[in-house]
Amino acid sequence: MNRLAQIAILSFGWRRVLLLIVFGAIASLSMPSLFVLPALFVSLPIWVWCLDGAEQRKGLKRLFGPAFVIGFSFGLGYFLGALHWLGAAFFVDGGWLLVVMPFAIFALAAVLAIFWGFASVLAHYFWSDSFLRIFAFALSLSLFEFIRGYIFSGFPFDLLGYSLTANDNMAQITSVVGIYGLTGIAVFIGAMLALVWPKDGRSLIGRLMPVFIIISVILGQIAYGQYRLKTTKIIERSDIKLRLVQPNIKQSQKWQAGSSDFIMTRLLDLSVSKSSPLDAGINGITYLIWPEAAIPFYLSERPEYVSKISKILPMGKFLVTGAPRKESFSQNLSQSYNSILMFNSDGEIIASYDKTHLVPFGEYLPFENIFNRFGIKQFVTGVDGWNAGTSRRLMGVNGALNFLPLICYEVIFSGRLGDEIKGADFILNLTNDGWFDNSIGLEQSFHHARIRAIEEGRSLVRVANTGITALVDPVGVVRAKLDAQTIGVLDVAPPRPLKKTIFSQYRNYPFFLVLFLGFLMLILQKIRLKKKKYF
């Protein structure tokens, strides 16, 4: 490591860029579902050492100088490694999209790496020879990770904090600090090994102090998790039972002409299936739940299926399903929504929710007129583009049960599930995920969603098309699960929500306070050093 530290400090030009891309890719191994945590401790010090050897620039040249290139290069390698699975979506339609795929994934990684480039610039502005440079590094990167999760609609996939959530014990800390706070902790301890090398005049104990701090933080995190899991009282409920249906419809079949009958037959058959003669089946449940876009057509155009739905639903039972919804304003003017619909046993739609946070290029095409000239279209075929819903709302029946409906990646936005979460008995996440079959994206998306249950202290009911369908309790323990690419049903009863978690009470305000006090300390330190320099 001492030799590696010297190489990183003295590197420059393309050699430094290549070194950082490689170690950025290594850092991505710490993400779900691999969770190779040592990769974080091996890679982040490289970034720190490269900043140690980077020359300072002044004025506007600082913005895109060596510090920016260092952070951008590391980020490029990281996001290429962490998000490579998004390329699976290009194989669904195939054709010319396969040619575009590597360029699209590279472009996405490069855009996200810009945030890390500016984080590197900010950290380098407060750089020093002391241990405070690790604080500057952690504060700057966690700040820009937060910005990445919000700006331009936000894309908070694979925040570095997820590296410290590999098991139930470790993940409990998110109930206190949230995933953004944990990101700051992950960066801080991940970069601390940079203080061990290169060798200098410090004593061995002095050089090993960062190792003791890292071990203490991780052991403390695990100890807190064990304590919370043992002492948190989970209240079960027997007044409701949900049947979760995972049909495992291939994405290539989803919007094909002629597939509707096959898809609906599978959904209806699974809904009324029994595991044994003693199984009450659909008569023993209160809610039947199908995944996102389970119905691949407008029900207004196929009313016979409304009749079939009402026939399988016993009196007093309800179906909650993902389906496209069209709202017509005139003969030539209408809007389409990616929606969740709730049916009663008479086949009436008694509640609905329209997805508010759409996926760029997936569910709508930004700058549509420009991209259409090059033959570029949105990924979700079979519709003319979705419109965003206006607001979040709870769904339920007569106040007896209220759940917060979230579609697909709406669930990954920590602290941004809406004020309605306070009145929710559980979180319902309907997703398709068929775009990413045979990739780690299925496990990764599920893990991101599972952390929301811990943060909010509410059960997560996740219903997927091809996987992963599961019930997660309010402390993040997976109670029941259907693996990816399997056909089946789960009959589950989500436990009651916890009274409150620290994160659900205060959200990210403690995180903001730490950022404010941290940067204030760095500013004062910089002022002190300037005065010392002149006097």
Q: How far is CA 89 from the centre of its chain?
A: 17
Angle 177-463-446 from CA coordinates, rounded to 5°: 40
Which of 408, 410, 443, 455 is catalytic? The answer is: 408
How far, in Å, CA of 36 to CA of 42, rounded?
Answer: 11
Judge contact between 113 and 79, C-beta under 8 A: yes
- Type of residue at 1: M
Is 292 a residue of the active site? Answer: yes
Q: Write the CA distances from 100 to 271, 373, 374, 375, 513, integer angstroms.
A: 40, 16, 12, 12, 43
Q: What is the dihedral of CA 138, 140, 142, 148, to 10 degrees?
A: -150
Judge contact between 85 and 436, C-beta under 8 A: yes
Would you give the end-to-end CA distance of the chain in angstroms?
Answer: 38
Positive/negative CA dihedral, 91, 93, 94, 97? negative
Is 50 a residue of the active site? Answer: no
Strand (E) or helix (H) holding 204? helix 204-231
Is 308 a residue of the active site? Answer: no
Question: Which stretches of 252-293 are assigned E, i.e. beta strand?
Answer: 287-289
Angle 154-225-240 from CA coordinates, rounded to 5°: 75
* Tokens standing for residue 256: 């094909």
Is residue 96 classed as helix, strand or coil in its secondary structure? coil
* Tokens standing for residue 222: 């695990």
Cβ contacts of residue 369 below 8 Å, gap of 6+?
A: none
Strand order, beta sheet including 478-482: 395-396, 402-407, 426-431, 459-464, 469-472, 478-482
Q: Write the CA distances from 422 to 179, 199, 459, 504, integer angstroms.
A: 19, 52, 13, 8
Which of 50, 317, 355, 455 is catalytic? The answer is: 355
* Tokens standing for residue 174: 């998110």
What is the widest separation between alpha-carbon atoms in the chain? 89
Which of 145, 292, 443, 456 is catalytic? The answer is: 292
Angle of helix 260-271 relative to helix 303-312, nearest 10 degrees? 10
In the numeric block, the tokens 């003017």 are attached to 333
Rg (CA), the chain: 25
Residue 455's CB is within 10 A of a number of other CB atoms, namely 24
List active site positions.
292, 355, 408
